[in-house]
Amino acid sequence: MGAAPRIGVLALQGDVREHSAVLTRLGARVSRVRRPSDLDAIDGLVLPGGESSVIDKLARAFGLQHPIREARAAGMPMYGTCAGLILLADRVTGAIAGQESFGGLDVVVERNAFGGQVESFETDLAVDGWDAPVHAAFIRAPVVTHVGERARALAALPDGRVVAVEQGNLLGTAFHPEVSGETRFHERFLSTVNAVR
């Protein structure tokens, strides 16, 4: 076994600390990504939950949007939760005017899909290929309204709406495993990182 994987957490806004804690617990070397040069020192990138429009705006202001897109196109594994999933989607509906994403996942994601009516909830979800369900926290969460040919759904709500997807080295969940003590998505992400680095 080589040295521990180096994982960056995009640290512009959002639940950076929660992701860092899970990744550290799983044995990764964690650093914060705020500048383009921070990307040079990592094997994989986590895009946290938070507010996708704010993270997008800050990423563009800090000159990070293009470097993140380039790293992704070069094969860097990335895992996005909630706002992070929105940022990885090729298409976003319900975005604010001018909002952009890094893209990569061949999906359409609807932002704030649960509206003001039920803004946050927790539920148990079956994940494709896993024995035990995931306890998932949805916080002003998006859903995947279309899974393109290149992406694959990993989990859906009982009504069929897709809430976890994977495509090559990219993983996205509409919910927050990092706040509910669930580590299997981060473990899956770290295995992808270890397989390609």
**Residues forming the site for ligand GLN (CB under 6 A):** 49-52, 82-83, 86, 111-112, 139-140
Residue 19 or 72: the one with the smaller Cβ distance to ligand GLN is: 19
Residue 115 or 129: the one with the smaller Cβ distance to ligand GLN is: 115
**163 membership: H or E segment, kind and range:** strand 162-167
Given the residues 18, 110, 178, 182, select the one marked as catalytic.
178
Q: Show the tokens assigned to 51.
A: 């507010």
**DSSP-derived secondary structure letter, 70:** H
**DSSP-derived secondary structure letter, 111:** T
> CA 60, CA 40: separation in Å to the nearest integer?
18
Helices and strands (DSSP H and E) totals, the chain: 5, 12
Nearest distance, CB of residue 101 and ligand GLN, angstroms: 10
Residue 42 or 87: the one with the smaller Cβ distance to ligand GLN is: 87
82 noted as active-site residue: yes
Residue 71 or 89: the one with the smaller Cβ distance to ligand GLN is: 89
Nearest distance, CB of residue 175 and ligand GLN, angstroms: 9
> CA 52, CA 142: separation in Å to the nearest integer?
10
Q: Show the tokens assigned to 48.
A: 């946290």
Nearest distance, CB of residue 140 and ligand GLN, angstroms: 4
Given the residues 110, 176, 182, 186, select the one marked as catalytic.
176
149 noted as active-site residue: no
Nearest distance, CB of residue 131 and ligand GLN, angstroms: 27
> CA 101, CA 118: separation in Å to the nearest integer?
25
Q: What is the dihedral of CA 127, 161, 91, 11, to 10 degrees?
A: -50
135 noted as active-site residue: no
Residue 139 or 170: the one with the smaller Cβ distance to ligand GLN is: 139
CB 6 within 8 A of CB 23: no
Nearest distance, CB of residue 45 and ligand GLN, angstroms: 16
Active site residues: 82, 176, 178
